[in-house]
Chains A and B, each alone.
Chain A
């Protein structure tokens, strides 16, 4: 058995090596005639090497760059430098994505006489990339959905409207109050008023760490909305710091009844409800009397 160093590197053996390479290799002259193509290259375009000789490379490969200013053969032969890139070649009715690299071919005098090009089929790689990208995207999408779901959940949790007494709703606010949250809170308060016919809404801001002019305005707007529905708004949990901020911001809270603590507000609201109930009783007596009068007249 012969050692590889003993093998004579003649022309035949070199062409054997070139034909053994799995990537496509071909050589063209300055007129784009294919002087040589290896077996792998010919197989990729669905031909045998013999079918390709002396044919124009643009007739064989049919890439979008062929016969344009981006032709890699023209680039390397005119600029005397290597050129790399990706493109697709047309084989029958199939598009095959390839990666190619070209270099100018020079004779023994150093004069450029053609172009050597090698290319590989990258459709598998692109497919893999596409799958990875798809997986990444679906993962991201799922993550985003999860986050949105959680955000909704937090919003839902953070604006609870609780009926603590017949006709009294409470809205204990916790955490920062941005305009989005304030809007949700307002909508929920209105819906709850419509459902429960509550005459009082107690907004407690003990749990809101930063109360600024914006927050004060949001609360004011909620109160305005409740007023249009026919309910009164009480505000509790205003600390000394919050009081100063609100007074400095110049927002007037005159439509809101302020109470120190939740208990005070509850007591006030319950007393008011009781008073109204009594008045209603008197009024219905009065209306009943009116009705009796009318009956008598008839």
Chain B
């Protein structure tokens, strides 16, 4: 079974990630998301992580890498569904994930992507 699923929501790509995703799955995810973003007109990618109860620094690093790739492809990335323990762990590790945005849920993320983004100046 695939550890992530992609949904297209009219210019926005929704990526739902399962907690048991492994390194290969992650590489596949980054490849497929960046491919879709480069081919279609996708303004934003919403990464839903509400399945995650724990997150390690490796995964955080991969997220950061995805955010950088998407930035180069001029798409915004919004992470949703981080739970309290995950947030506390990230803070304890001093990981602030500066290159992406966060929203409470997918709905809020969609609204956020409608708003003017932080890197609006770079847009087309």
A and B form one complex? yes
* Beta-carbon contacts under 8 Å, A44-77 to B: none
Is B65 interfacial (CB 8 A cutoff)?
Answer: no
Interface residue total, chain B, C-beta cutoff 8 A: 25
A230, A276, A280 — most chain B CB neighbours (10 Å): A230
Name B103's contact: one of A221, A230, A279 (CB within 8 Å).
Answer: A230
Enumerate chain A residues within 8 angstroms of B91, measured Cβ to Cβ: 221, 224-225, 228
Asked whether, in the complex, the Cβ of B84 is within 8 Å of the Cβ of A283, the reply is no
B82, B83, B105, B115 — most chain A CB neighbours (10 Å): B82
Asked whether, in the complex, the Cβ of B9 is within 8 Å of the Cβ of A187, the reply is no
Enumerate chain B residues within 8 angstroms of A190, measured Cβ to Cβ: 84, 87-88
Given contacts A190-B87, A280-B111, A287-B9, contact A224 B96 (CB under 8 A): yes
Is A193 interfacial (CB 8 A cutoff)?
Answer: yes
Is A14 interfacial (CB 8 A cutoff)?
Answer: no
CA gap between A198 and B104 in the complex, in Å: 8
CA gap between A14 and B44 in the complex, in Å: 111
Enumerate chain B residues within 8 angstroms of A228, measured Cβ to Cβ: 79, 82, 86-87, 90-91, 96-97, 102
Q: What does the 1/0 interface line of A210-224 toward B look like (CB < 8 Å)?
A: 000000000001001
Interface residue total, chain A, C-beta cutoff 8 A: 24
CA gap between A57 and B87 in the complex, in Å: 75
Q: Which residue of A lies closest to B84 (CB)?
A: A190
CA gap between A55 and B8 in the complex, in Å: 104
A-B contact count (CB 8 A): 62
Is B24 interfacial (CB 8 A cutoff)?
Answer: no
Asked whether, in the complex, the Cβ of A194 is within 8 Å of the Cβ of B83, the reply is yes
Enumerate chain B residues within 8 angstroms of A221, measured Cβ to Cβ: 91
Name A276's contact: one of B10, B80, B96, B111 (CB within 8 Å).
Answer: B111
Enumerate chain A residues within 8 angstroms of B80, measured Cβ to Cβ: 230
* Beta-carbon contacts under 8 Å, B96-124 to A: 96-97, 102-105, 107-111, 114-115
Given contacts A280-B111, A283-B111, contact A225 B104 (CB under 8 A): no
Is A181 interfacial (CB 8 A cutoff)?
Answer: no
CA gap between A286 and B113 in the complex, in Å: 14
Q: Which residues of B contact A (CB under 8 A)?
A: 9-10, 79-80, 82-84, 86-88, 90-91, 96-97, 102-105, 107-111, 114-115
Can you give 28 A-B contacts (C-beta < 8 A)?
A: A187-B88, A190-B84, A190-B88, A191-B84, A193-B104, A198-B104, A224-B96, A225-B87, A225-B88, A225-B91, A227-B102, A228-B82, A228-B97, A228-B102, A229-B82, A229-B84, A229-B87, A230-B102, A230-B103, A230-B108, A231-B104, A276-B108, A279-B111, A280-B110, A283-B110, A283-B111, A287-B10, A290-B10
Q: Which residues of A contact B (CB under 8 A)?
A: 187, 190-191, 193-194, 197-199, 221, 224-225, 227-231, 276, 279-280, 282-283, 286-287, 290
